[in-house]
Amino acid sequence: MTVEQDPPAATRPGGRTARVREAVMRAAGDALAEHGFEGLDLADVARRADVGKTTVYRRWTNTTGLVADLLAHMAEESVSRSDTGSLREDLRTNARLVVRTLNDPRQGPLFKAVIAAATGDESAAEALHRFYAIRIAEWAGCVDAAIARGELPPGTDTHEVIRAVSAPLYYRVLCSGDPLDEAVADRAADAALAAALADAYAR
Amino acid sequence: MTVEQDPPAATRPGGRTARVREAVMRAAGDALAEHGFEGLDLADVARRADVGKTTVYRRWTNTTGLVADLLAHMAEESVSRSDTGSLREDLRTNARLVVRTLNDPRQGPLFKAVIAAATGDESAAEALHRFYAIRIAEWAGCVDAAIARGELPPGTDTHEVIRAVSAPLYYRVLCSGDPLDEAVADRAADAALAAALADAYAR
DNA sequence: GTCATAACGGGACTCCAGTTCCATTAGCTG
DNA sequence: CAGCTAATGGAACTGGAGTCCCGTTATGAC
């Protein structure tokens, strides 16, 4: 029996489709940064992207679907971590990068909007978790290197160290509303390092 | 001239108005816990509260206004902090309380929804920041007591210690999506304490 | 008790986000 | 380059969130 398995995709990801996605992703980022998630209007995104409203609704269904894809798109652009040879410096670099991102007039509101979207929609939440998993795994490499240098003992939860750096920064932005600057970033990095060292001693 | 200054309020906060607010607050909490912030419909809240739709729109204007008032209402119910005589134990108690709240099938989604609302609306954000300021100030008393007992040196940023306890828990819920349990709570509390001690040594 | 009016309730109305339908454009295959 | 059809674009349509109008209720002052 010659069943023709795996039909030739029947899809057409060629030039135009990709072009449309790029334009819509950029437009969605702009719109989110400007009006936040709740102010997101797919018709407005379509206008900005110079694309038919119908196309946006057909391919992304609704606002959370669009946000989920935007996150996947953002995750595709990998950021390289630093490697200064000192864990304290690497963590401070990471913390300052997060602060700069969250304070950035475009990126800050975008991240807030995306997090807001994730609180109400499972697929957006999954996309967000994947995004952070990638970032955390990337920077966890710094901690691995530190362990290799003997700055931290083996058995340290490397991902937890990186999470500990970002956590107080996001907490300020999302919950308490306290200001965010380089001093706060450095304190967050130092606190994460102190916690990791204390945890090592306790074992 | 006998100008009658300060006319008798011209407002009528009597029985009915207060009753309506209570009913709407409860209904809003239910609705947020069930459908999240983006699924919040004032007409639905009105129905649950057995109150006219017009009334809800007149008094709270829109969804973010309702959320802002709900937060004020939640802040009014003060929770008493613990006082075990040991800072580590107090911080762990706090961390476990936060975890239990965020994992609670009703409170968890409610907090997520409220945070989502705050990302897109200034007045909701202010209400949220006030809410956390009250909670943090309350629990900072534990750190004050610890300083008085000599567990920590004077000059410690007491609010920062409390923020450091909650931060990793909220980060997991809102960003990374990692699970939340008592072990994580204890680790967060211990990390906050370690960071505070390290910060004290550094000074 | 009586009165003035703050606050509420019901229902009609408006407006626009989201859907549907169909014509048009442009990837892919041969 | 010719043909098939995936994918897009325009425009009319629709449902329900939010508004408006006006009659009704009940609070507080006397």
Q: pLDDT tens across B22-36, in order?
A: 999 999 999 999 999
Task: Residues A8-74: name the CATH superfamily.
Answer: Homeodomain-like (1.10.10.60)
Q: pLDDT tens across B159-188, in order?
A: 999 999 999 999 999 999 999 999 999 999
Task: Write the class of the CATH domain A80-197.
Answer: mainly alpha
Chain A CB contacts of B163 under 8 Å are 168, 171-172, 176, 178
Q: How high is the mean pLDDT of chain B?
A: 92
A109, closest residue in chain B (CA to CA): B119
Tell me the residues of chain B between 130 and 159 that have a Cβ less than 8 Å away from chain A. 132-133, 136
- D28: residue with closest CA to C1': B12
Q: Is B203 on the interface with A (CB under 8 A)?
A: no
B81's torsion region: left (phi>0), alpha (psi -120 to 50) or beta?
A: beta
| CA atoms of A21 and A72, how far apart (whole Å) | 12
Nearest to A135, CA basis, from A111, A151, A117: A111
Q: pLDDT tens across A101-134, in order?
A: 999 999 999 999 999 999 999 999 999 999 999 9
Q: pLDDT tens across B38-95, in order?
A: 999 999 999 999 999 999 999 999 999 999 999 999 988 777 899 999 999 999 999 9
Domain ranges of chain A: 8-74, 80-197
pLDDT recorded at residue B77:
79
Residue A190 to residue B199, Cβ atoms within 8 A:
yes
- State both tokens at B18: 């207060």
| CA atoms of B164 and B105, how far apart (whole Å) | 24
* Bases of strand D lying below 7 A from some protein CB: 6-11, 16-21, 26-29
- Matching fold, domains B8-74 and B80-197: no
- Residue B102 · residue B181 · CB < 8 Å: no
- Residue B178 · residue A165 · CB < 8 Å: no
3-state secondary structure chain A: CCCCCCCCCCCCCCHHHHHHHHHHHHHHHHHHHHHCCCCCCHHHHHHHHCCCHHHHHHHHCCHHHHHHHHHHHHHHCCCCCCCCCCHHHHHHHHHHHHHHHHHCCCHHHHHHHHHHHHHHCHHHHHHHHHHHHHHHHHHHHHHHHHHHHCCCCCCCCHHHHHHHHHHHHHHHHHHHCCCCCHHHHHHHHHHHHHHHHHHHHHC
State whether the beta carbon of A35 lies below 7 angstroms from any atom of strand D.
Answer: no
pLDDT recorded at residue A28:
96
Q: How high is the mean pLDDT of chain A?
A: 91
Q: Is B3 on the interface with A (CB under 8 A)?
A: no
In the predicted structure, residue B3 carries a pLDDT above the cut 60: no
pTM of the model: 0.92
B199, closest residue in chain A (CA to CA): A191
